[in-house]
Chains A and B, each alone.
Chain A
């Protein structure tokens, strides 16, 4: 299982990636939409965790582009902005995401959401690789 974390707050996204790595998940991080697209072209990710608000390429635009190139990719949005309904409407606009999380993100919650998504999308495969 490999996940991609995208947020323009480098400090945040790098630390988050490191913590996930400590928990045995291959987590790459990108500080911008461009970096994320480059990484996604290079590696195959199961889940992308994307910040909604980023300069140049917004989280929503990034999700749209990634979804085109990687149809099996699952998405989790996170944001420090707005309430659940804001979030949901943004998500609707992006064509649907699987989960959204508020900042500050609880690592265990993120972890369980990621696992859940991977399990749901390709459960048996994930389980075998994990063992």
Chain B
């Protein structure tokens, strides 16, 4: 709670708690929330959108990059594999075209050809010559396959019908994975013979291991039925079925993204090898391939989070400051309005009181004169008889009552007259000294200490000496009335800025109750009824201060004391003299 209050905006609680007329005009919490949401939207939206866009673009770019890399590798490997097979098939084609069946039907010649093949293009394990009925009549190689009957072997039937054949990898009679390439040659007598070579699959394995080394992933051959032809890293043994669907035939290399059996995302590149029953597959773990990009992504995310946090902090700070300022301005406005209303009310009261006072003055004068005459008549002779003394007493009390009324009306009229100002250069210290001289005896008698703290820089300023005296007489008189014997009275004068003089009158007397504080400047408001207060002192003081273009306000705490603040303009009353004539043409008479 206490920690929260440090950052809690000033309007947060006061906004709703302000009572009565002090309540601000706006819901500042709502304004604050709105400002925060709006600013966050404006600031964060583009950032997030840009980050998202960048994320997508980079991701797309990385994926494309991976696909391209895979595509390149697969294409290259495909070309290599296809070329390898074509080259060897072409060699066999050349042999059967170059040599007749009779020439080939010779172990030494065949062995020589195998040697030559091994020396020139390589990759051959053995070489065999077959008659049209599928019997291997000549065989040069490591296995004892001579005279084996291949009539029912799939490859033999294929070569008989198609003229040439490249087989899948298969075990055959020898029990070793191998590929055979066979070509058929028609003889002149209408029969034919077949030359077959076995290729070592180790060569493929080497080629494909190269791709694996490049870090793209698993790379191997499968046949069109999905049987694995070369060793894989993680997709099964040679001649096992591949646990993935074989992609549909395409002439060129394709790369696409899919999921494997375990649900992982994989990038699969494939190419059908032309003229051979193989599909070259390259399978990479997408997550693995995207790892470099993930690093970049992490940086972006961290940046985004830090930037967002900063933005949120700044927005909160700005919104709070802004709304605080508005709140304070609103509060000041409300206070100013309240002051204006109070001033206007007091001015109306003043006019009303003056009107009443003036109307009463004439009848009062008549009562005074009639009573005076009565007194004169009673005093002059023996009129009144036995009751004469009593009558004289009654007349005297009428006189006292009239005097009281006259006092009140005079003070009321004093308040009501704006502009009756005699402007001269006044030294504040002089005025206050005069006032304090007036109260000096009482202060001494009641042991009241008076502290005067007047700024030595205080200049003489144009004002009305009599009104100033009246103001301080009233305030000091009130202070004396509020204090017990032995109290303290402080009067200070200072220059808070170059335009105004600030005077405070502070006592440590009984103070004013909070509910009374609002009413102290109203006429006939008095708490001193028992001591005979008229309730006009502060009313008149207020009027006088306003006449001098000043302001007066009061702070008080019951049992602690009361402080009056008076601000007076240093220049405000200059030029009053010129206006006086006009004003009085209307106001006097």
Q: Identify the A interface with B (CB < 8 A).
A: 9, 11-12, 15-16, 18-19, 22-23, 52-53, 58-60, 80-90, 93, 102-105, 107
Contact = CB atoms under 8 A, between A and B. Distances in A.
Contacts, number: 101
3 A-B pairs closest in CB distance = A80-B361, A104-B368, A90-B588
Contacts of B420: 82-83, 85-86, 89
B275 to A, nearest CB: 126
Contact of B417 (A86, A103, A105): A86
Given A12-B362, A81-B588, A93-B588, 18 more contacts: A9-B362, A15-B370, A19-B373, A22-B376, A22-B377, A22-B380, A58-B589, A80-B358, A80-B364, A82-B420, A82-B588, A86-B417, A89-B580, A93-B581, A93-B585, A103-B406, A104-B403, A104-B406
B418 to A, nearest CB: 10
B421 A12 contact: no
Contacts of B410: 83, 102
B370 A103 contact: no
A103 B365 contact: yes
Contacts of B421: 85
A17 B97 CA distance: 169
B406 A19 contact: no
Given A19-B376, A22-B376, A82 B580 contact: no
Contact of B589 (A59, A83, A85, A88): A59
Given A59-B589, A104-B365, A81 B413 contact: yes
Interface in B358-397: 358, 361-362, 364-370, 372-373, 376-377, 380
B439 to A, nearest CB: 22
Contacts of B414: 83
A61 B417 CA distance: 22
Contact of A89 (B362, B365, B464, B584): B584
Contact of B369 (A23, A83, A85, A104): A104
A88 B377 CA distance: 35
A23 B377 CA distance: 11
Q: Give the interface residue-count category, chain B.
A: 35 or more
B312 interface: no
A82 B493 CA distance: 31
Contacts of A103: 361-362, 364-365, 368, 406
Given A81-B589, A85-B417, A12 B422 contact: no
B344 interface: no
Nearest to B589: A53
B587 interface: yes
B462 to A, nearest CB: 16
Contact of B587 (A16, A80, A82, A88): A82
B538 to A, nearest CB: 18
Interface string B554-586: 000000000000000000000000001100110
Interface of B: 358, 361-362, 364-370, 372-373, 376-377, 380, 402-403, 406, 409-410, 413-414, 417, 420-422, 464, 466, 580-581, 584-585, 587-589
B365 A82 contact: no
Contacts of B377: 22
Given A18-B373, A90-B588, A102-B406, A82 B417 contact: yes
Contacts of B361: 80-81, 103-104
A16 B403 CA distance: 17
Given A12-B362, A85-B420, A89-B584, A19 B589 contact: no
Chain A interface helix/strand/loop/mixed: helix
Contacts of A102: 406, 410
A84 to B, nearest CB: 8
Nearest to B422: A85
A89 B588 contact: yes
Max chain B CB contacts within 10 Å: which of A53, A59, A80, A84? A80
B362 A15 contact: no
23 contacts: A9-B365, A9-B366, A12-B366, A12-B369, A15-B369, A15-B370, A19-B376, A52-B589, A80-B358, A80-B361, A81-B361, A81-B589, A83-B413, A84-B466, A85-B466, A86-B417, A86-B420, A89-B420, A89-B580, A103-B365, A104-B402, A104-B403, A104-B406
Contacts of B402: 104
Max chain B CB contacts within 10 Å: which of A23, A52, A84? A84
A86 B414 CA distance: 9
A83 B265 CA distance: 101
A83 B417 contact: yes
A73 B136 CA distance: 171
Contacts of A59: 589
A91 to B, nearest CB: 9
A53 B414 CA distance: 17
Contact of A19 (B372, B580, B587): B372
B364 A93 contact: no
Contacts of A11: 366, 369-370
Given A81-B413, A83-B414, A89-B580, A15 B588 contact: no
Nearest to A20: B376
A82 B357 CA distance: 9
Max chain B CB contacts within 10 Å: which of A86, A93, A102? A86
Contacts of B587: 82, 86
B372 A15 contact: yes
A23 B410 CA distance: 28
A16 B369 contact: yes
A92 to B, nearest CB: 9
Nearest to A90: B588
B416 to A, nearest CB: 8
A15 B414 CA distance: 27
Max chain B CB contacts within 10 Å: which of A81, A84, A93, A104? A104
Given A83-B420, A102-B410, A93 B365 contact: no
Nearest to B467: A85
A103 B402 CA distance: 10
Contacts of B589: 52-53, 58-60, 81, 90
Contacts of A60: 588-589
Given A16-B369, A81-B589, A83-B414, A90 B376 contact: no
Nearest to A107: B372
A52 B362 CA distance: 12
A23 to B, nearest CB: 8
Contact of A105 (B368, B373, B466, B585): B368
Contacts of A23: 376
